[in-house]
């Protein structure tokens, strides 16, 4: 089968080449990929930023999102059958959706929302699961609470704004001048143009911050939280708790503890908590997201699409950090 591969960490671009067809285990579903989407995670994996916690082998097929059609199911699969239209974010140990075929454990898969085409569906899984696991699972966001979502025009931000509004929260977000009206249309109640204002001087008494940006923004975010508030980051630094949940060695747990020591200490000084969320594949949560999409509560937001042959160009475009919503690679 054709796939987009890298041969080493730090490699610029990548290559389209031939790869063996996936082996279908008893609990696996073999999917013909019709579309996939680019995530910042793909770039980080390519650069080797997760090589300590995700020891991939080479050549490595990149890709963390998919929409497609089931062509074969393993002997123990009960929820899916050939011909089903599905979407998924594969478990992090079995990525590889920039390919004609991928085998995914059935627990990571959900039926594609009926009101989306493949391109729209492929844009959803990773970012929507990230938003769900931050806002619903970790923050337990409640009606009337105030949440700051950084980078509101990005892939996670566009979905998180819509989900937070559905949960009844007051939503503030940060973005550039060109996107202010656009993120308001997504549902943001208050928009901070970071080219004109410092969010930490304007926002106060928030319950939750979702951070996807760098260390400077992470630290400034502490200032907008009220006592008892939660600072939740998807861009690090990771914590020892995360390392334990990943089953990492004791030395690596201590490394993670040291990496997050400063922000955890500063959070305690302000009587707020700090958590790092690394999104997990979860088909059951994806089913909840499907229901929200079919009800029109969450709408996919796509910036651009690229043909499979231009996957390297699509990655480069996402790395520029200017996309409004998601960038999708079409296989079919």
Higher pLDDT, 120 or 247: 120
Q: What is the CATH number of domain 127-276?
A: 3.40.50.720
The pLDDT assigned to 55 comes to: 84
Domain positions in the chain: 2-124+300-330, 127-276
The pLDDT assigned to 321 comes to: 86
Which residues are within 8 A (CB) of 148 and not within 5 positions of it... i.e. 6 or more apart? 172, 173, 174, 199, 203, 206, 208, 209, 210, 221, 224
The pLDDT assigned to 301 comes to: 95
pLDDT value at 285 more than 90 = yes
The pLDDT assigned to 225 comes to: 98
Helix (H) or strand (E) segment spanning residue 254: helix 250-259
The pLDDT assigned to 86 comes to: 98
The pLDDT assigned to 39 comes to: 96
**Which 3-state string (H, E, C) describes 203-223?**
CCCEEEEEECCCHHHHHHHHH
Candidate from 49-63, 101-115, 221-235 with smallest mean pLDDT: 49-63
Helix (H) or strand (E) segment spanning residue 73: strand 66-73
Which residues are within 8 A (CB) of 324 and not within 5 positions of it... i.e. 6 or more apart? 153, 158, 179, 182, 301, 303
For 73-125, the pLDDT digits (tens) are: 999 999 999 999 999 999 999 999 999 999 999 999 999 999 999 999 999 99
The pLDDT assigned to 101 comes to: 98
Helix (H) or strand (E) segment spanning residue 291: helix 283-294
pLDDT band, residue 128 (cuts 50/70/90)? very high
Share of the chain above pLDDT 70, in %: 100
pLDDT band, residue 332 (cuts 50/70/90)? confident
The pLDDT assigned to 104 comes to: 98
CATH classification (class only), 2-124+300-330: alpha beta
pLDDT band, residue 137 (cuts 50/70/90)? very high
For 11-47, the pLDDT digits (tens) are: 778 999 999 999 999 999 999 999 999 999 999 999 9
The pLDDT assigned to 235 comes to: 92
The pLDDT assigned to 53 comes to: 84
Share of the chain above pLDDT 90, in %: 94
The pLDDT assigned to 51 comes to: 87
Q: Are 36 and 328 in contact (CB under 8 A)?
A: yes
The whole-model pTM stands at 0.96
User: CA 68 to CA 140: how far, in whole Å?
Assistant: 32
The pLDDT assigned to 54 comes to: 86
The pLDDT assigned to 11 comes to: 76
Average pLDDT over residues 317-322: 90
Candidate from 59-68, 261-270, 289-298, 316-325 with smallest mean pLDDT: 316-325
pLDDT value at 280 more than 90 = yes
pLDDT value at 177 more than 90 = yes
Q: Tell me, yes or no, if the two domains 2-124+300-330 and 127-276 fold the same way.
A: no
Upper half-sphere CA count for residue 322 (Cβ side, 13 Å): 6
Which residues are within 8 A (CB) of 102 and not within 5 positions of it... i.e. 6 or more apart? 22, 30, 31, 33, 63, 66, 68, 90, 96
Q: Are 299 and 162 in contact (CB under 8 A)?
A: yes
């Amino acid at each position: 089968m054709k796939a987009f591969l890298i041969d080493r960490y730090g490699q610029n671009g990548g290559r389209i080449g031939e790869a063996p067809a996936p082996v279908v285990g008893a609990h696996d579903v073999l999917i013909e990929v019709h579309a996939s989407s680019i995530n910042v995670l793909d770039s980080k994996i390519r650069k080797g930023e997760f090589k300590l916690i995700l020891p991939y082998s080479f050549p490595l097929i990149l890709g963390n999102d998919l929409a497609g059609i089931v062509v074969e199911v393993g002997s123990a699969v009960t929820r899916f059958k050939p011909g089903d239209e599905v979407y998924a974010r594969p478990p992090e140990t079995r990525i590889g959706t920039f390919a004609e075929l991928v085998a995914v454990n059935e627990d990571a898969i959900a039926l594609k929302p009926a009101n989306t085409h493949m391109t729209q569906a492929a844009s959803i899984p990773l970012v929507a699961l990230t938003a769900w696991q931050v806002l619903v699972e970790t923050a337990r966001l409640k009606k009337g609470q105030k949440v700051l979502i950084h980078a509101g025009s990005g892939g996670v931000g566009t979905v998180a704004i819509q989900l937070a509004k559905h949960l009844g929260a007051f939503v503030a977000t940060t973005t550039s001048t060109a996107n202010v009206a656009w993120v308001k249309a997504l549902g943001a109640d208050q928009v901070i143009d970071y080219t004109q204002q410092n969010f930490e001087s304007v926002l106060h008494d928030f319950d939750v911050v979702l951070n996807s940006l760098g260390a400077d923004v992470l630290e400034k975010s502490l200032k907008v939280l009220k006592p008892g508030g939660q600072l939740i980051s998807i861009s690090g630094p990771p914590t020892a708790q995360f390392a334990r949940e990943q089953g990492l060695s004791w030395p690596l747990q201590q490394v993670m503890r040291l990496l997050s020591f400063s922000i955890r200490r500063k959070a305690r000084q302000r009587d707020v908590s700090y958590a790092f969320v690394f999104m997990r594949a979860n088909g059951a949560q994806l089913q909840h997201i499907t229901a929200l999409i079919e009800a029109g509560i969450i709408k996919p937001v796509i910036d651009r699409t690229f043909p499979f042959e231009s996957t390297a160009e699509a990655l480069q475009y996402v790395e520029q950090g200017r996309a409004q919503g998601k960038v999708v690679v079409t296989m079919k």
